[in-house]
Structure 1
């Protein structure tokens, strides 16, 4: 198979001594404390950490005409069942039409309980043997979902999987630069407190992220620095969990409390996620942020709708995927159903977006 490896640009391995003290108590108290400490610490960071934040950075080239095309799919890995194979077929057709450059996965890559290890055949049965279209033989950039944490998380992060299928790239938190756009990939599962204190019958693999408070504060610090350093006209953040949603899972309180203030403070254009098994677009009422859900990669049709405080632009309670077509001036998204039909389109210009 062709090597689709992006270029790894840099990683700063130095570690800032812990300056975050998270106040224990109620969830609301911890939310407020963490945000306040982050803001206070940010004033110290130029002196303490003059170099870039500890996020791996990858680079992907744009087309010669100055454009970029990609697909976004989430919540998919079910060995081809629940219409996963049909969605994959339609992704292949759309990918060919748009001449896509890469694919983004918004997490819950392998159901129900992630991978058991790097030799788990589900990797091939749910990924390699399903997304076989020629147009999909491009780099896949992936984040982890909560179902992935129920298995061996380190297996999905292992370079061994790239030896099996070179398309696969899954890193816990990283930046993807494509000249005029920066994608910031964020591992959101550790944010959700209930997975830690009330996992029910499930086991979550917290290796390399425990303790939770340290993980969250360090990630927010690094993300804040990286967003401030970004000179790309477009800034998109990709995570698994919803910030805003009208479907089954609804809003994620921890992301609204911890992550959203950092996104708003740094002019993020879109937050792209999975988790809810649907397609939806919600516009923020108090910022330019667009909340985009693409989680219809396999099992869907939850039959749940809960109104949201922000402006709902579109909601499709079913299976499907999303495309993005970008230039320096214009961003366009489109949703497709299981039959490959375009069911929604929306676009914005950078000038209009900045004015808003």
Structure 2
């Protein structure tokens, strides 16, 4: 069970409690679960009982008890405790089971891992100035919210021939020009949403000539929209100090591992072995940060979509890349010397390939290519 799965499970328990009249409180749009802090109980904790207590007119401990009864027997949950003033603390089933579920999900969904339908009922209309950072940001936000099921329309304040070809090279499309009505014709209840990041201070043509499309998009999207975008030559540095290079190099390395394994005659899974490989053994502690980041990826994408914040995806990809290299250096997926490929190598390769899938999918949402060779 991933953190996103656990969040949905708890939310379902709230729905059940309200439907059964055990709770009389508005159901929240989502439930937040967090890793238990050092010294705490269980794997994850949730404060939803404290959140609902006031509206329910019940002590938080009683709300927690009601929810515990409805979630304790769910698959993937080993134990549910009530701690402090009413926190729910969850201990999940054997780590290998939940890790296996994450790797299975990444393998099955591919680059669409983390996409969902949480925003499927939303019709959104974004509007931006005729400025390159605003246009690229609006395009990335469109990709994000569409990945979560929303329908989107983008308009630009004014048309103009200058820069139109360059916008196309940056992957930007605009549905309409001019200031549209306050609401969308497709959905009168959809308000006009302005996209107003700090301007780039350069034109699309200037940036493309100096940086190319991928570095330009990363440079515009990596900082939060309220921060200035650093657009210097550091975006072209072929070294791990450059986050864009780090992320793309990590992806290219995962592809090289797959090719290397094939040359050695083994894979992480094959038609002859219908089940996906097991997750890395628990003693390989360097795998844990990477596995946790992959499990958290769907939540990160949904949060980035809700907050219109592609910079959150960029930071997630950087974290995955760092965790991948730490894991790779501690637990090499390929055998060395005369060593024969083992189940451990196959398992490590599965995790490396899952990391590559997440990196490629995240870069695609940012409109940036993921080359297999660097």
Question: What TM-score does the superposition give when structure 2 sets the normalisation length?
Answer: 0.21
Select the structure of larger CA radius of gyration: 2
Higher share in strand: 1
- The structure in which a higher percent of residues are helix is 2
TM-score with structure 1 length normalisation? 0.22
